[in-house]
Chain A
Amino acid sequence: DAGVIQSPRHEVTEMGQEVTLRCKPISGHDYLFWYRQTMMRGLELLIYFNNNVPIDDSGMPEDRFSAKMPNASFSTLKIQPSEPRDSAVYFCATGRGGQHYEQYFGPGTRLTVT
């Protein structure tokens, strides 16, 4: 298995632009999590899905952030409009749930908003 796949790996954009981050989970994993990592705030959960349904979005910082999972093989995290304080590494992680507790992280997308 290729593991969790994220794209793009790096994104540089100007303030006010729309940014879309993508994640392909490990096949058979029905939980998908979006995390953000910054020096100031560390690793924090933004939102997670189970069987493509959003379960907890309490970590989404503002209405500028939205996430979707249209099918079991694909999820997006969108920021519109982007701001410099959104600069961070965004990780997607997936897991199988049930008695399988482990979450496996993708390589991350490093977002820089200028």
Chain B
Amino acid sequence: GENVEQHPSTLSVQEGDSAVIKCTYSDSASNYFPWYKQELGKRPQLIIDIRSNVGEKKDQRIAVTLNKTAKHFSLHITETQPEDSAVYFCAASKGGGADGLTFGKGTHLIIQP
């Protein structure tokens, strides 16, 4: 089955700096790669996603890149703000929305004031 590795497990950055979280996946058939943000005690919330026919996608301060050859994808957050502090999960799926997600173990992002 699919295996998703996520690094780092904890990331501390100064407010205003950029943060990068990286994930690798094992199944070349995977075609959908969402990123979820989870605040303490809350549900995972989708913040951005990318499909396998696209190499990069951006939404304001958040961007995701995908390298299908190397089977890795990354989340980039620019101009970090205190409200960006949370746990971020990457995931992969073979069937788009018609398949279950395999999640990475999460990255605890800490924004230092």
Contact = CB atoms under 8 A, between A and B. Distances in A.
Interface of A: 31, 33, 35, 42-45, 48, 50, 56, 58-59, 91, 95-108
B39 to A, nearest CB: 12
A103 B43 contact: no
A91 B100 CA distance: 13
Interface string B19-49: 0000000000000101010000011111001
Contacts of A99: 96
Interface in B42-84: 42-46, 49, 51
Given A43-B44, A107-B43, A101 B103 contact: no
Contacts of B113: none
A107 B34 CA distance: 19
Interface residues of B, number: 25
Nearest to A95: B97
Contacts of A107: 42-43
B97 A100 contact: yes
Nearest to B105: A42
Contacts of B100: 33, 45, 48, 56, 59
A106 B42 CA distance: 9
B98 A31 contact: yes
Given A98-B98, A101-B51, 8 more contacts: A42-B104, A43-B89, A43-B103, A91-B44, A96-B97, A100-B97, A102-B49, A105-B43
B44 A101 contact: no
